[in-house]
Structure 1
Amino acid sequence: MSQTDFNVRSLRAEDYESWCVLWRAYLAFYETSLPGTVYDSTFARLLGDDPQDYHGLVAERAGALVGLTHYLFHRHCWKIENVCYLQDLFAAPEVRGMGVGRALIEAVYAAADNAGAPSVYWTTQHFNHTARQLYDRIGTLTPFIKYQRD
């Protein structure tokens, strides 16, 4: 598969069922699941009109969704401009290694450029070696470690 075999586009309302399939697989990869109400809420946010809300892109191949990404813009104390957080990225197993992940990330880069956001960042598990091979080619590994309150 080459980049001409798929199209990256904005998420649309009619994508809900196909998006759910990809979202469920993404969550399973991270060994988690969420109630249906979170699916509904997340999808509604992704389709929202507020530029400060979440945004969703999908990769489509032969009429089927094969990848997704979700991102948002937010303020940053060290910059005047907003920055972009790429929160979720998933390519279906059958298309991994074929450019879908790269195309989705580059589409987020383009959206960030269009919005005047100078920085795009994301996190991944340190042992996600397959994804990190791509990330090492199109991003810069930072020395930061993530902490959170559960």
Structure 2
Amino acid sequence: MSDDVNIRFVTRQDYEQWLPLWDGYNAFYGRSGATALAPEITRMTWSRFFDAYEPVHALVAEQDGTLRGLTHYLFHRSTTAIEPVCYLQDLFTSETARGQGIGRALITAVYEQARRAGAARVYWLTHETNHTAMQLYDKVAEKSGFIVYRKLL
């Protein structure tokens, strides 16, 4: 990764650059056009980053004054640990920034924030077709073997 990439907490001033990354992330997972997230979800997500009572956090990768990537993570309780658990919910880099180590740097930064919070572990999900990302994930974490089931209500 280039030395001039700074991983830092998102600020309110980042919204105009964060939004296209957020939109890109959602488009990647098919949430665009008719299936796009409702604007109020994006507004609420953004506001949670700045609410001290919310367990949701955001980091960004900045290079030459431009945001190149984002990650959102949250802390929650577990029935199998006393310490909090960290769920890395979203990770995205701009197309032009891929292959430069920014995704790895964002994951590493989440690991550091989880350590500071006393978390017992960090985990995340990805789609089974996201082979490019899995090449990185296989280097920085271990597959748990669990399969996710869900039911939309």
Q: CA deviation at 1:5?
A: 2.4
Over 3 Å off, 4+ runs: none
Counterpart AA for 2:112: A
2:38 aligns to what?
35
1:7 aligns to what?
6
Secondary structure at the aligned position of 1:83 is classed as strand
1:83 aligns to what?
85
Counterpart AA for 2:79: C
Secondary structure at the aligned position of 1:80 is classed as strand
Would you say 1:73 and 2:72 are equivalent positions?
no
Secondary structure at the aligned position of 2:125 is classed as coil
2:98 aligns to what?
96
Deviations 1:54-95 (A, max 9, x none): 000000011011100000000000001010000000010111
The aligned length equals: 148
Partners in 2 of 1:45 and 1:147 — Cα distance?
Answer: 26
**Which sections of structure 2, spanning at least 5 residues, go unmatched?**
none
Query: TM-score, normalised to structure 1's length?
Result: 0.96
Counterpart AA for 2:106: L
Query: TM-score, normalised to structure 2's length?
Result: 0.94
Would you say 1:110 and 2:109 are equivalent positions?
no
Q: CA deviation at 1:3?
A: 3.5
Structure whose residues are more often strand by fraction: 2
**Which sections of structure 1, spanning at least 5 residues, go unmatched?**
none
Secondary structure at the aligned position of 2:16 is classed as helix
